Structure 1
């Protein structure tokens, strides 16, 4: 489906500041076809700048905020005379797994993913999801809100053969915590306590609340960003 580039009078254009196909899938299932823009934020640099005393909640919220702001900067250069930014909301996201006092993002390599699963097997972790929403009117930032949600994930104990096969798919290398709820990793999740959509990557209840803080209702999003 092609993405609408221009503004719509029915409500603000929803801009997703993320390349995550899982987040896009959640939004589409929830009735929103977002305009996708990916930030060039150096996540490691942002996290390092926060210092060693930053809480996990602060880290994921700061990363989500950095991504949303960077996409706003890029769109401002792309549309200097308005366009999408005549009326828009930009949503930045970041998810990380907190287990054993460590905050884990994407493992990137099979070795790192395996080491994380050795720790996670048969245990529980806190999946932290940070979101930042920017409200843009007439090309100018009109409001910004950010917060996080926490969902407890209970992991099973996959056999060595199952874990080898899962790692070989490449899926756990590209996702926070080295697992998915909505993909192959769902076989190894015993249960969750909290918001399922936040585990997938974008917490609909939290985003709805943040949008409400900026005066935007879900019905407006459905009208302006139909799938």
Structure 2
């Protein structure tokens, strides 16, 4: 069974490959800043961490689900994901600029840690649908094992998953898709020096990742504790993705393994 990854992230691909899944990588081509700004304007306020990452996860998955890949329609499941790091109520995305990355690290270390929000969206685009039901036995049949809350989207296009506490998660299903948010609370070492920050930023590693750090790279030595799924911090929560497929579509994790 094919899984399309609406991302060109090496970290997300590596997570799936290590789990026995070889995804098809497709760039979603989503203007993340514009999508977030439009939703915030519609709501009349800033987005929360769960709202932001779920909004962008849906946008990415939807963009790929309705596209042709290598000249053919998508046939399988499409996963879209997004991440943001929250420190003292402020959301951090990718810093891009070394000066911004250094300042973020100073702020994160001063706070002692923060919450990594990880948004997920899986869209069903299998083409072997039952003509009688229009499904493959997917969402409606599978939700009985176990029940899943119904997916509701606000007029601003933001999935309504309810309040998600730091370290918690939420999942909802509706129609051809399942949306979820997972989170992990991170604690940073209390003795990281300015020289260490400068050396880390100089590698370029933190510039294009949410929160300006990775736990599967050089920054692992600066993080002393993770409360939550480590994979969520890398780019997708594998336990949550497994639950989305099972509870939303009746698909077992091993059904996606590349044997």
Matches within 5 A, 1:62-77: 62-75=55-68
Separation in structure 2 between the aligned mates of residue 185 and residue 53 of structure 1, nearest angstrom: 29
| 1:145 lines up with 2:181 in the alignment | no
Matches within 5 A, 1:21-170: 21-51=10-40, 52-75=45-68, 78-80=71-73, 84-85=74-75, 88-121=76-109, 123-138=112-127, 143-156=176-189, 157-170=191-204
Q: Is the 8 A contact 1:76 1:139 kept in 2?
A: no
Separation in structure 1 between the aligned mates of residue 69 and residue 227 of structure 2, nearest angstrom: 39
Q: Name the SS of the counterpart of 1:152 in structure 2.
A: strand
- TM-score by length of structure 1 reads 0.87
Separation in structure 2 between the aligned mates of residue 101 and residue 114 of structure 1, nearest angstrom: 19
Separation in structure 1 between the aligned mates of residue 180 and residue 86 of structure 2, nearest angstrom: 17
What corresponds to 2:155 in structure 1? Answer: none
Separation in structure 2 between the aligned mates of residue 174 and residue 53 of structure 1, nearest angstrom: 22
Q: Name the SS of the counterpart of 1:26 in structure 2.
A: helix
- TM-score by length of structure 2 reads 0.76
What corresponds to 2:255 in structure 1? Answer: 220
Q: Is the 8 A contact 2:26 2:69 kept in 1?
A: no
Uncovered stretches (5+) of structure 2, i.e. residues with no partner: 136-175
The verdict on how the C-alpha distance between 1:219 and 1:130 changes in structure 2, with shifts beyond 3 A counting, is same
| 1:177 lines up with 2:211 in the alignment | yes
What corresponds to 2:152 in structure 1? Answer: none
Separation in structure 1 between the aligned mates of residue 220 and residue 27 of structure 2, nearest angstrom: 26
Separation in structure 2 between the aligned mates of residue 183 and residue 208 of structure 1, nearest angstrom: 24
Separation in structure 2 between the aligned mates of residue 18 and residue 24 of structure 1, nearest angstrom: 8
Aligned pairs, how many? 208
- CA-based RMSD: 1.8
The verdict on how the C-alpha distance between 1:76 and 1:35 changes in structure 2, with shifts beyond 3 A counting, is closer
Separation in structure 1 between the aligned mates of residue 35 and residue 229 of structure 2, nearest angstrom: 26
Separation in structure 2 between the aligned mates of residue 77 and residue 219 of structure 1, nearest angstrom: 26
List, as ranges, runs of 4+ consecutive aligned residues in structure 1 with deviation greater than 3 Å: 139-142
